[in-house]
Structure 1
Amino acid sequence: MALFRLVAAFFGVGVLLPVPAWSAGRGVSAAHYGRDDRIDLHQTARPLWLRLADSTVALFQDADVAPDPDAGQARLKTAPFKSLPSISPWRDLCKGERFYGQPAGAVCSGFLVAPDVVATAGHCVVSDEHCRSLRFVFGFAIRKAGVMPDRVAAGDVYGCAELLGREAVFRGSDWALVRLDRLVVGRLPLEVNAAGSIAEGTPVLTIGHPSGLPAKIAAGGRVRDASAKDYFVTNLDGYHGGSGSPVFHAVTGRVEGILVNGDTDYEWRDEDSCWTAHRCPENGCRGEDVTRMSVPASRLSAIGGPGRPLPSVVKPGRGMMTLMESVAEESVFP
């Protein structure tokens, strides 16, 4: 998953920067493993997944979010994903690729960890100045088949008040915590695994904005390698733009880490003169790196704790159930 681009600064130092959804150039990375498990929000009725998705956020450039006060909305500047602007503005995605007709615009992903704090990848927010140039947009998703999101409620757009902390180490610790310009309304912080321990083989899922697209849920992943101190490796289906997405334990719904880096995203198909998604065997290729939540947890604790657990889930015809009961009944991985 092409989550990183290494850019040489004018003074000769390599800096990790987010890749805008329409920036040119190759070298982005990400992939899907086995079957592509990504789905839109309208394609699931699972209360757990939808509740988790409500607390995820898309990062947009400020210039790409236009307030419309009269309508109480904000218009989002996007580009057609079929033109694959994130790879090359003059070459198209191959017809038949998934999400071909959808809009793309997000530059990174993130998630709510405190009432006014978002976590994301460190390479997505490189400085206080850069942070202030971003907008944190909740609700960039397809909730009804065929209805493409080109705007959100004005109240779902937040600015950056301050960058609370960050690290961006390739094959290491990659995280950022951003205080928003006001408390988030109508969405709850996610519960995180501050201890950071996770076993190989653990089932995981992620929710974010791969390739800058409207929110996608990708389940069916597992932890491949948990030997590194600051990160673990999964076979989740991820692409650039998905940097900063939360990676959830599929049984507890708890955030285990932050999706940060991975394999090659797209490959050039000479015979058709177009780009096609890079496909890996279920257990092939290198895998997708996930920064453990234990890494930013101490900073998060210092600013008021790692958020609150999700509330109980209500199902039609049922009383309140705990999150664990709900997940066990839904059985994400039979």
Structure 2
Amino acid sequence: LTSVAPVYGTGTRQLTSVAPKVVYGDDDRRDWHELDSSDSDDALALGLLENSIMAHIFRSDLGSPDSDGVYRMLDDYPDSFRLGPSRNLCPNQKFLQHPRLSYCSATLVGNSHVITAAHCVWNQMLCDDAAFVFNYYVTGYDDNGNPTFPAITRNEVFFCKSVSTNYREDSSGYSSGTDIAYITLDRAVPGRTPATYHKTLVRTTPRQKLLMIGFPDGLPAKVEAGGKVTDIGADTGFESFLASTDAFGGNSGSGVFDEDGTMIGVLVRGATDYVQSGGCTVVNELPNSDGGEGIIYVDRVVSLTNPVPPPSSSPGRSCEAALSIDASSAFSVDIADTSLGVGPSSYDASLCLDTAFGGAGPVFWIKLDGVRPGNELDLTTCGFDTDLSVFEGSCSSLSMAACDGDSGSCSVDYGSSIDDFVPKADTQYYIVVGGYGGESGAATLTGTYSSTDPEPPNPTSKRYVECGRRNRCSEEPKWADVDEKHEVRCCADER
């Protein structure tokens, strides 16, 4: 399965190149209006489609509702964006006039939770731009041959609040982890019945019949009930299996169900969708026996539904539990993993415009003790595509003081650097190290001062004493209260 590329969505803004899927045997995809509610199999599919199948649409493509609370993005949909013209399909192909609005597919599995493919939304930045939408299906056609839809109102639109997954992609496009994600929505979904899913491994069987519902190539929802299992996935440790489902780019995240309507998997990857036929393109049709659509066993999501929080004693996981370091002189801190903590409630990226600062995802917190007021401090993080920011104040009342995205001069690309930052007296500072787009990894933070002889910030209450005077000790210069003795304050090796 690992040799088959993941299939990405089809919204108007692409996050990465599309690696599409294919039709096996006959094209079995059907619309909502083609289902027969008197047929038990169709009735099962209708219930799932209306209650638990959601389109993943970019918020920017969704737009805003009108004064009546209705989203109008499908009204007067541009002809050039419809499937036929945008794919240069031959006239005998299906769904030529259908819009291509969605990016991926998802399934409601709880009052406020959905399951999807992780490559569709695997970090907080992608989550922040994701809407999950009901009612994106075709109810019939108008006099001009264009599809009609039920109303999509505020009640059918939900937004991604957070994402839980162990899937990661690096800047080169390589991925790791399991391609499945558990999404928490911004609010509970009323009046709909979530799908049930296997929370422990239930292996498929060869040629087992499957039902898949999703949004192929960004089209309105399609029901596909002609697929069968072609490989149960023993060689993957039963992480995934293969099937002959008719799936396309945009089906990523589609729920795959057994004959009882229980969700058994999530579609994540497949083969090529379209091929040239003369001067136009047609759906790529392969024998059912060649079925190679990759489906993750859904039980793999269980470890993500109740993630184990880091121990309360873990330094770096929050402002209150920040790793304290001595910043009275040059310092260097090796961070094994920046994904330990949760970031601040907000960032002010205007402090570092044009530096590709993301301000999203997991972070590592560092508390600077003993900074030199009035002395320029240069900060650098290296290791991966880091975000670096400085906050000041107490943990209950932080304000951002500086930030940088990728101005660093590390041996790796996109390190971060904040130069000539001048700490103030009587102010607590925190360093927050994260990654662009929610990326995480190992990093090294270094801090150096441009001078070793700062001016006193408040000469009336403190005086500057130079340890090492008269060759009595060799420590760095430090501050001392006026009533403190030089030897007691500064010299550790001799009194």
TM range (shorter): 0.7 to 0.9
Matching of residues 308-319 of structure 1 within 5 Å: none
Q: Which residue of 1 aligns with 2:109?
A: 113
- Partner residue of 1:93? 89
Report the Cα offset of residue 68 of structure 1: 2.4
Instruction: Name the counterpart of 1:51.
Output: 47
Is contact 2:253-2:268 (8 Å) kept?
yes
Q: Could you tell me how far apart the structure 2 residues matched to 1:236 and 1:151 are? A: 29
Structure 2 residue 132 is the aligned partner of structure 1 residue 123: no
| Structure 1 CA distance for aligned equivalents of residues 71 and 5 of structure 2 | 27
Letter in 2 for 1:297: V
Counterpart-to-counterpart distance in 2, 1:133 and 1:172:
22
Instruction: Give the TM-score, by structure 2 length.
Output: 0.53
Letter of the aligned partner of 1:267 in structure 2?
V
- CA offsets 1:249-294 (integer angstroms, 9 cap, x no match): 02x110000011011111122x2x222111101212x510100011
Q: Please give the residue correspondences for 1:1-334 in structure 2 after superposition, counting only pairs within 5 Å.
A: 4=6, 18-21=9-12, 23=14, 28-44=19-35, 45=37, 46-54=42-50, 55-76=52-73, 79-84=81-86, 92-146=88-142, 147-149=147-149, 152-167=152-167, 173-196=178-201, 197-226=203-232, 227=234, 228=236, 229-250=238-259, 252-269=260-277, 271=278, 273-284=279-290, 286-300=291-305
- Looking at CA atoms only, which structure, 1 or 2, has the larger radius of gyration? 2
- CA 1:50–1:166 in 2, change beyond 3 Å: closer, same or farther? farther
Give how far 1:48 is off.
1.0
In structure 2, what is the Cα distance between the partners aligned to 1:110 and 1:216? 13
- Whole-Å Cα distance in 1 between the matches of residues 294 and 209 of structure 2? 15
| Larger relative contact order, structure 1 or 2 (CA cutoff 8 Å, min sep 6) | 1
Q: Which amino acid aligns with 1:71?
A: D
8 Å CA contact 2:115–2:253 kept in 1: the answer is yes
The Cα shift of 1:167 comes to 2.2
| Distance in 2, Cα, partners of 1:277 & 1:21 | 21
C-alpha deviation, 1:164, in angstroms = 2.4
User: How much identity, in percent, do the aligned residues show?
Assistant: 28
For residues 122 and 280 of structure 2, the distance between their equivalents in structure 1, rounded to whole angstroms, comes to 32
- The structural deviation recorded for 1:145 is 4.1
Q: What's the secondary structure of 1:123's corresponding residue? A: coil
Q: What letter matches 2:228 in structure 1? A: R
Q: Secondary structure at the match of 1:129?
A: helix
Q: Alpha carbons of 1:223 and 1:171: their partners in 2 closer, same or farther (altered >3 Å)?
A: farther
Give 3-state SS (helix, strand or coil) of 1:111's partner: strand
List gaps (5 residues or longer) in structure 1: 6-16, 86-91, 304-334
Separation in structure 1 between the aligned mates of residue 150 and residue 86 of structure 2, nearest angstrom: 18
Q: How far apart, CA to CA, are the structure 1 residues paired with 2:177 and 2:207?
A: 21
Native 8 Å contact 2:55 2:134 kept in 1: yes
- State the 1:170 CA deviation: 6.7
One-letter amino acid of the counterpart of residue 210, structure 2:
V
Alignment RMSD? 2.5
Secondary structure of 2:302's partner?
helix
Measure how far apart 1:154 and its partner are. 1.8
| Alpha carbons of structure 1 residues 300 and 126: separation in structure 2 relative to 1, 3 Å | closer
Aligned residue number for residue 14 of structure 1: none
**Residues 257 and 111 (structure 1), Cα distance of their counterparts in 2 relative to 1, 3 Å cut:** same
Deviation at 1:213, TM superposition (A): 0.3
1:124 CA drift (Å) = 0.3
Q: In structure 2, what is the equivalent of residue 326 of structure 1?
A: none
Residues 10 and 102 of structure 2 are in contact (CA less than 8 Å); yes or no, is this contact kept in structure 1?
no
Letter in 1 for 2:131: R
- Aligned 8 A contact 1:67 1:154 in 2: no
Q: SS where residue 59 of structure 1 aligns?
A: strand
- In structure 2, relative to structure 1, the CA distance for the partners of 1:192 and 1:27 (3 Å cut) is closer
Q: Deviations over 1:287-311 (max 9, x none)?
A: 10100011112323669xxxxxxxx
